[in-house]
Every structure is written in structure tokens, then in C-alpha cells.
A and B are shown apart, each in its own frame.
Chain A
Amino acid sequence: MSFWQSFARNRGGVVGLAVLVLVVLLAVTAPFLFPFDPWDTRGAPLQAPGGAFALGSDMLGRDVLAGVFHGARVSLFIGVLSTVIAVAIGVVVGALAGYFGGLVDELAMRFTEFFQTIPSFVLAVLLVAILTPGLASVVIAISVVTWPPVARLARSEFLALRHREFVEAAVLSGVSHVRIIFGEILPNALTPLVIMGSLMVATAILTESALSFLGLGDPNRISWGYMIGAARAVFRQAWWLSVFPGLAIFVTVLAINLVGEGLNDALNPHLRRRTGP
């Protein structure tokens, strides 16, 4: 059975993928459908949805729909980039631990454990505050707090593959450690890492939204979390300011989770969900 056929058997996964494609479309079309700065005043403030603006306007007369479109860019960008970095860190730490074992393993795992124990969101808040809010600091903060589970998974994969014959053969033929780790073992350990990564994008988007809700987003780029945070003062009078961006976050995160589970079912039917949130 092809990959697509087995993926298509999971109805949730297919629906999630369709929704995710839609969100990507929002992000891609934002500059064309709303070719203006989403921070600009476009009309009267606090207009209810369905009037001049499909999703209403905020207290400064900004178009909520434009914000939702442009916000998709920030969410997806940060979600994907910070996950890629977190997976890279996790793979390096986990690979070192699993490949070399012994003292290296002990040290790497203590290090990982420490990062798993500390209150990750508080650390993320601290990092962004200290590095001054911006796209880069948010990405750094999210990757710094999300890599530990990847390291654990990578370690267990490397431990399992370390003494397989093809690896021993490579060691005996004098291939360098780096090439064995990245050229021989990693490709064989990729599947569970990809699945975990896909679910991590969802968590990263949730974290980004919480950070920008607290006012720690990039001050030059509109994001869903920021929109909700900024509208907090008036949210009793203008529910649409928090409901629509929140729906956008919810739907995106849900779609990514569904796709991740679909991938999990399609790629390794024997494994139950071993990825934590």
C-alpha cells in the first residue's frame, strides 16, 4: 500500500491536511488579498462583523480579517522554523547520547532532564523579554524549551540502531563518526522524528500565540495571539476581536495535530503514540 493510501485511511488526517492547506493559502494570499499593512486604520473602529469588514474592526479601525490572513504567516513561519531548530538540537544531543553512550550519554541526558524539569514557558517568557521581543527571539525561545523530548526519542532510536550490522560494518570500514551518525543511522531513525516534529509544530504555534498574547511577539508583525491580547480591554463589547483570531489558532493547531496523527498511523502502524505534547 502506498503512503498516500494508508494516510487516506485516517479520515481525521485527511480533513486536517485539507484545513492545513487552507491555512497555508491564507498565509500565501495575504499580501495579494490585503495588500496593505494590517496595522493600518481602514475604517470606523469597533464595527461588528458583517458590515464594512467581514470579521469586524478593532478599536483602532483595523480590519480583523486582514489580521487573520497576515497572522497566518507569522504563526506558520514561527511554528515551522522553531520546530526545525528544536529537532536539530534534539537530534544532535540525542544522537551523541545514544551513539557514544557512557559518560557522554549520562551528561547529555542530565542536561536534557534539567531542561525538561524547568518551567519551560516561564523560561521562554524570560528569554524573549531579555533578548527583546522579535521574530528571532521568539523562535530561539521556543526551540530552547521544546527540544528535550526530541533528544530522548533520538537517543532511544540511536541506541536501538547503534549495534545493528550495517552500523558495525561502517565502523569497521573506518567511516568517521559524523558520517555514521548523519549518513547511516539518522536516515533510519527519521520516521518517528518526523512524526514528533509534525506534532511539535502545533505546540510551537500554541506557545507563540501565548507569548504574543502576553505582548512578547514581534512588534512589527501582526499575529493571532497579539490580536487577542490587544483586544482584552474591550472584549466584552467586541467579542469578535478575540473569537476570530482564537478560532484561527484553534483550527490550525487542531489540523496539524490531526495530520500528525495521520502520519503516525500511516508511517508506523506498530507504534502507538509515543510523542508527548
Chain B
Amino acid sequence: MRLLLFLLGWGVKAAVVLLAIVVLNFCLVRLAPGDVATVLAGESGAADPDFLARTRADFGLDRPLPAQLLTYVGNVLSLDLGVSYRTRRPVAEMVLERMPATLLLTGAAFVFALLVGPALGVLASIRARRPADTLITVAALVFYAMPIFWVGLLFILFFSVTLGWLPPFGMRSMFPPSGDLARVLDIARHLVLPALTLGLFYVAIYARLTRGAMLETASLDFVKTARAKGLPEWRVVTAHILRNAMLPIITFAGLQAGHLVGGAIVAETVFAWPGIGRLAFDALLQRDYNLLLAVFLASAVAVVLFNFATDLLLRLADPRIGAMSR
């Protein structure tokens, strides 16, 4: 029952967010210079006012704005996001076929960051003010200050060009090996550098956050009680301190999901990763607004998915959250 309510609440929240984004999208289209009619006219070279008026009527652009908005929302709900100005293909189709690659990349980076970041933070906190702590703190500061695209380029220079260990771009080899396992391994090899690049920034954030939260929690009374009971130190750290320090980190990770998906645009551009970020970059070069807006909507969907995942994690980590009505 409780789970059902949670899912229901989530569905409503996600629907509201996505609807708001659709409306925002509609407003952004209005802001863009020119409309479909001028684009088509420019391409066919026939820019007489008559043609423009007819095309606008065809696309319903001569109707009042609220009516247009309704049509637009209706179209989006039926997954009709319009056609790309360039390729004339439905943009929904173009985005959908790129979505798995982006989810793979951002998912891998997210998991990597959530596993490594807090682990480093814990290590730093139990070695507070000793060399290991200093090293981790400095490394976190450094990666927090480096632009993602620059880290990516340096990685390519070092791991691909100089050492020749990992492929510098793409998601598959030009001639993929045969066999399922070999193909998965091929993709995994291509995934390492982009996922590291995207993830390290968040590793830095989570390490800093975890260290702070751990040190703060460690000074609380119930930790002293646990120690006084004679619990072994590793139990105190994992079951008492970390368990409580994790909550703000997961909450924060959920908030950061939007940021992560945004970072994918940059990482995918650097590594020619065939996801929606790369698609956005191409759309950008060609000023293909329809496609850009579809990417925006798709990335918002990805964010909602990540938020859902972190909320679920949070409920697992803290049973009290499920008990309180949200």
C-alpha cells in the first residue's frame, strides 16, 4: 500500500514536471528566430508572403497561441514531436534511438561516482588530517575545478594517444568482433574513458560531501554510545556513521541528476559517443530547434528516471522516509 502511494505520488510529480517542460518548450519555440514557415521558405527559395501565409496555415501557426499550445501538448502526449528541419525524420524517433547510449553513459558515470565518491569520503574521514585525507581532499578539489571537456581531452591524449590502451572515441569498434560477449566487452572498453570523465567531477563532489557529513555525524552522541557499547570500529563506521551520513549524499545525488545529464552533452561531444548529447551538438550546429527541443524533453525524462532511482535508494537507506507520508 505504502509503495503504491509512493509510486502514485511519483507518477503525479513526474507528470507535472514533464508537462511544465512541454510548456516551457513551447515558449522557447516562440522565442526562436523565424518559424517553420521561414525555414521551409529559405530552403525552397520561395519566400513570397503568400507561400509563408499558406505554410503557416498548414502548420496551424495562424491560430491563437493558447490553441497552438493545446495542439502542441496533445502532439507531445502522442509522442509526436515534429520533424527535424534537416533530415525530415520524426525527431522522437531520432532521440529514441540515441537514448540507450546516453542512459548507458550517464548510468555508468552515476554508479561509478556513487560507489567511489562516498568510499573516498569515508576513507578521508577516518584518516582525517593524515596524508590519505590530504591526498583525497586535494584530488577532490582538483577534479571539482576541471572542466569536463578538458579532462576528457587529457584522458584521450594520455590513455589513447600516448599509451594506446583505450579507444578515444565512438561506442563500438569500426569492425566489431563477433560473439555477444566480445561485443559487450568492446562497448565496455569504449565506455571507460567517457564514463570516467563524466563521473570524476561527481566523485569529487560526493567525496567532499561524504567527508563532511561523516565528520559531522561522528561527533554525535549515538556514535559515542556505540563505541561505549564496545562495538568494533568498522561496525561503528559502517552501521552508525555512514548509514546516517549517506542520506544527505543520496538526496544531493538526486538533485544533481539534471546536472549529470547536462554534462553528458559535453562528454558525448568530446568522445563522439552516439547519445542524445551528441545529437544535441549536431542539432546545435545546424540550428535544428525541433531536434534540440526534443533532446531537452528526453533529457528531462532521463532526469526524472534518475530522481526516481535516488528516491527509491533513499527509502531503502532510511526506512523512516517510507513511514512518513510524503
Contacts and interface: CB of A to CB of B under 8 A. Distances in A.
Contacts of B259: 119-121
B284 interface: yes
B149 A125 contact: no
Chain A interface residue bracket vs B: 35 or more
Interface in B203-252: 205, 208, 212, 216, 252
Interface string B290-319: 001101100110111001000000000000
A246 interface: yes
Contact of B31 (A121, A125, A130): A130
A214 B33 contact: no
B141 interface: yes
B289 A130 contact: yes
A213 interface: yes
Contacts of B141: 254, 257-258
B280 interface: yes
B296 A123 contact: yes
Chain B interface residue bracket vs A: 35 or more
A119 B300 contact: yes
A68 to B, nearest CB: 14
A225 interface: yes
A210 B149 contact: yes
Interface string B137-174: 00001101111111001101100010000000000000
A249 B150 contact: yes
B265 interface: yes
A83 B156 CA distance: 32
Interface string B18-34: 00110010001001110
B86 interface: no
A102 B42 CA distance: 52
Interface in A223-259: 225, 228-229, 232, 235-236, 239, 242-243, 246, 249-250, 253-254, 257-258
A202 interface: yes
B45 to A, nearest CB: 23
B266 interface: yes
Nearest to A251: B145
Given A118-B303, A119-B300, A250 B263 contact: no
Interface string A123-137: 111110111100000
B281 interface: yes
A249 B147 contact: yes
Contact of B150 (A116, A122, A131, A250): A250
B145 A254 contact: yes
A273 interface: yes
A216 B284 contact: yes
Nearest to A257: B145
B326 to A, nearest CB: 14
B182 interface: no
Contacts of A242: 150, 153
A276 B284 contact: no
A277 interface: yes
Contact of A117 (B28, B216, B307): B307
A117 B17 contact: yes
A248 to B, nearest CB: 10
A250 B141 CA distance: 10
Given A129-B289, A214-B265, A246 B150 contact: yes
B165 to A, nearest CB: 16
A206 interface: yes
Contacts of A272: 212, 216
A74 B300 CA distance: 30
A272 B149 CA distance: 30
Given A119-B261, A130-B32, A232-B153, 12 more contacts: A117-B303, A119-B258, A121-B259, A121-B265, A206-B145, A209-B147, A210-B148, A214-B265, A225-B147, A246-B154, A249-B146, A254-B145
Interface of B: 17, 20-21, 24, 28, 31-33, 141-142, 144-150, 153-154, 156-157, 161, 205, 208, 212, 216, 252, 255, 258-259, 261-263, 265-266, 269-270, 280-281, 284-285, 287, 289, 292-293, 295-296, 299-300, 302-304, 307
> What 5 pairs between A and B have smallest CB-CB spacing?
A121-B262, A246-B150, A254-B145, A253-B145, A119-B258
23 contacts: A117-B300, A119-B258, A119-B259, A119-B261, A119-B296, A120-B262, A121-B259, A121-B266, A122-B265, A124-B262, A125-B265, A126-B28, A206-B145, A213-B147, A213-B149, A215-B284, A216-B284, A235-B153, A235-B157, A246-B146, A253-B146, A257-B141, A272-B212
